[in-house]
Amino acid sequence: MEIAERSRARVQERLARLEQEFGSTPVDQTTFSVGTEAYQRAVERSREGQVDVHAFVHNESGDVLLSNADGSWEVPTGQTQGAERPAGAVKRVVAETAGVACTVRDAVRATICGVRNEGDPDAETVYRLSIVFDAEINSTALDDSDSTEIAEEDGASIRWDDAGDVAVAELV
């Protein structure tokens, strides 16, 4: 039970810090099974205390920033690094993805993810935390037009899209 207990304690610690910073945030919990390789990544990320972050970054028109690095349009997503706080990770991920600064307004939802190894039913469940944040763009240098591609670099591009077209449930 060592991995499970430590990973659960890390998640609880991160949730407590999230509450201190943003107040009460809805928390869901889900458990799923993954292949051995993905399970090992979850174990490593848990050991490192990484939190998955998803950023709904809005422009002045209320549209959401999306990026296309792997053939599908998604909100900027990443993980915390070292002792980085999740809101700080959002700012870094958005800057790396879109080359712009943002202000984190709120933590919208947190999900505790129990990860099981489908190849080894005796392996302990590893717990990870995933947080969806609401943010606003700090720069007006980007085109605010609906669904317009605004940058293209190394095959990845970003654009604004109608917020109603982006489902939060698909993120976690």
For the stretch 54-94, pLDDT in tens is 999 999 888 999 988 777 889 999 999 989 999 999 999 99
Instruction: Using the CB atoms, write b or e for 28-51: b if 16+ within 10 Å.
Output: eeeeeebeeeebebbbebbeebbb
- For 157-170, the pLDDT digits (tens) are 888 888 766 654 34
- Residue 116, beta-bridge partner list: 33
Q: How confident is the model at residue 144 (pLDDT cuts 50, 70, 90)?
A: very low
Which pair of structure tokens corresponds to residue 18? Answer: 């999230």
CA distances from 99 to 30, 53, 128, 139, 151 (A): 33, 17, 28, 10, 9
Give the range of the structural domain holding residue 161, as residue numbers without chain letter: 2-170
| CB neighbour class for 3 (10 Å; exposed up to 12, middle 13-18, buried from 19) | middle
Which pair of structure tokens corresponds to residue 163? Answer: 């917020």
User: What is the tally of structural domains in the chain?
Assistant: 1
User: Residue 15 belongs to a domain with what CATH number?
Assistant: 3.90.79.10
Which pair of structure tokens corresponds to residue 69? Answer: 């690095």
pTM: 0.85
